[in-house]
Amino acid sequence: MTTTPVSATLESGVPVSVVIVSRDRPEALRRCLTGVELLQYAPFEVIVVADPAGITVARDMVFAEALKLVTYDSPNISAARNLGIAEAAGEVVAFIDDDAVPEPLWLRHLLEPAQRPGVAAMTGFVRGRNGISFQYRARQLNALGEPENLDVDPETPSILPPPPGGAIKTEGTNMAFRRDVLVEVGGFDPAFHYYLDETDLNMRLARAGHATAIVPLAEVHHGFAANAMRSANRVPRDLFDIGASWAVFHRKHLAPQDRAAQWAYLRAAERRRLLRHLISGGLEPSDVPRLLRRLDEGHAEGLKRPI
């Protein structure tokens, strides 16, 4: 991004395209772009894929002329990310959510393993909005697509091959991929409108034998801003797309005989989550059956979505 003065003084690294997808959160996008402007890395470009309100905010930034802007106003994060990949000129494509802010050295740390043999993906640690505690650190995915914590060196990158049947997890708000590999595997699957989009990509990268670098010092701060699926305090508003995404994921990655039992397990886990929010006062009693009904409706649609 040529408008960032400090970046121009740095030794050049791997060219990077930073993709930010935004919808219905223009002020969060403004804060994210303000943080991205301060990144100490060169060369990088920024691609904003956003609804009209987000595009208006991006055009108001003092560095607007340095941005690539793509108007997209449908609730499908995978399709939006693919539009960003299509515009990307960098050797690596990095992703950060519109409700996140990167540390100034984020890209310098995240891209350090990019030229090591076999590394196709990179991911960092994610701090919560208090700036202290972590939301996500190192995780892998088991064969069912469920995340499991990993122990890694907290200071240096860990280059990890995929575990048997699973994958190394990249965090959607703090991840990067070699662009040629993204193109090779077909990018993100638009059948995942919301949720599990990067999980599916991780599983496909693992099956292709690619390694992932976990880079603890590549940090972003993630605010968990409200959206159509959850409130700002993470109380569910709608579970339709979660149900749909699990159905799609199971069709792609689980044997047919295993799908019904795993769905029953996940549905029970969602019900327990809703009851915890009910007890804490985040939901009303009538919300629980309504949200479970939406979960089931989404699952039914996900069984039919084109993959």
For 226-274, the pLDDT digits (tens) are 677 777 778 899 999 999 999 999 999 999 999 999 999 999 999 999 9
Q: What is the mean predicted confidence (pLDDT) over 115-133?
A: 93
Q: What is the mean predicted confidence (pLDDT) over 159-186?
A: 97
Residue 227 has what pLDDT? 77
The 3 state secondary structure assigned to 49-60 is EECHHHHHHHHH
Give the Cα separation of 64 and 222 in Å (integer).
23
Confidence label for 9 from pLDDT (cuts 50, 70 and 90): very low
Looking at residue 10, the DSSP 8-state letter turns out to be S
Residue 2 has what pLDDT? 38
Question: Residue 106 to residues 66, 80, 126, 203, 258: CA-CA distances in angstroms?
Answer: 19, 23, 11, 25, 40
Give the Cα separation of 198 and 100 in Å (integer).
17
Residue 123 has what pLDDT? 98
Give the Cα separation of 46 and 67 in Å (integer).
5
Instruction: Provide the CB-side half-sphere exposure for 303 (13 A, CA).
Output: 9
Residue 4 has what pLDDT? 38
Residue 224 has what pLDDT? 73
Q: Identify the sign of the CA torsion 119, 177, 185, 145.
A: positive
In terms of pLDDT, which residue wins out, 74 or 4?
Answer: 74
Q: Is the pLDDT of residue 205 over 60?
A: yes
Class of domain 5-222: alpha beta
Confidence label for 8 from pLDDT (cuts 50, 70 and 90): very low
Q: What is the mean predicted confidence (pLDDT) over 164-180?
A: 97
- Per-domain residue ranges of the chain: 5-222, 240-302
Q: Is the pLDDT of residue 111 over 50?
A: yes
Question: Residue 190 to residues 133, 193, 197, 269, 306: CA-CA distances in angstroms?
Answer: 32, 6, 8, 25, 9
* Contact assessment for residue 180 and residue 89, using Cβ atoms and an 8 Å cutoff: no
Q: Is the pLDDT of residue 5 over 80?
A: no
Confidence label for 117 from pLDDT (cuts 50, 70 and 90): confident
Q: For residue 154, what are its two tokens?
A: 């907290």
Residue 272 has what pLDDT? 97
* Contact assessment for residue 141 and residue 169, using Cβ atoms and an 8 Å cutoff: yes
Give the Cα separation of 143 and 211 in Å (integer).
17
Q: What is the mean predicted confidence (pLDDT) over 72-101?
A: 97
Length of the chain: 307
Sheet of strand 147-149: strand arrangement = 147-149, 139-141, 167-168
In terms of pLDDT, which residue wins out, 3 or 269?
Answer: 269
In terms of pLDDT, which residue wins out, 223 or 74?
Answer: 74
Residue 30 has what pLDDT? 97
Q: Is the pLDDT of residue 217 over 60?
A: yes
pTM above 0.85, yes or no: yes
Confidence label for 155 from pLDDT (cuts 50, 70 and 90): very high
